[in-house]
Structure 1
Amino acid sequence: MAKAKEVKESLIKQLQAKGADVTLYRALIDDYMWFYQQFHQMQADIRKRGRTYMTVSAAGKDYEKNNPSVDTALKYSKQMVAILQALGLSTETVIPPDVEAKKDNDECDL
């Protein structure tokens, strides 16, 4: 799994490649990273407790309850996709790493 720092750096590089590295879009990346971290916390909770878990009702009876982290993770994921769309980033518009590296090398040759 990619580390948060690597994801953020990748998003920033994509903005830079598009010539859109401005404060507004950097703020959106910060928002994306917040959702990214929350999403992974929800995944950890789902791995720990499962999609459902047993709990005790106010009447003292055991019952199976849906893990709210499942719905929350879905909401976070949708918001992350919306942020990527707002940034104009998709699989069709991504700048491949080899193109980034070539661009960096070309700049060094100047």
Structure 2
Amino acid sequence: METDKGQEYTVGEIKHSDRIQKSATPKMDLSWYVKWISSIFIFSAVMMRSATGNSPEQTESLLMADRILSLIGCMGWTWVGLLWKDRALIVLNAVIVFALATGILTSLLN
């Protein structure tokens, strides 16, 4: 295998290297797809959050869309945390899911 700088490495060198960084997360399995789809939902939520409406009703609609997209994204990341058995991901996203769900229900009931 050849790098951009012209260096050549064998597969064995890459596999056993301490210098070459390899991703620690699984690739192309269920968790890989869930994490990227969830990330797209969260990116979309941030775009909604940064948008400003022309009226209070439009702003409220954008805020609700932000909450819903964030909820879906964080639910996905909670699932990824469970698949990876990563307690930090599980705790962080489960708490966020609870907070977002509470906010959505409060908005809908008012």
Q: TM-score, normalised by structure 2?
A: 0.42
More strand by share: 1
Q: TM-score, normalised by structure 1?
A: 0.42
Higher RCO, 1 vs 2 (CA within 8 Å, ≥6 residues apart): 1
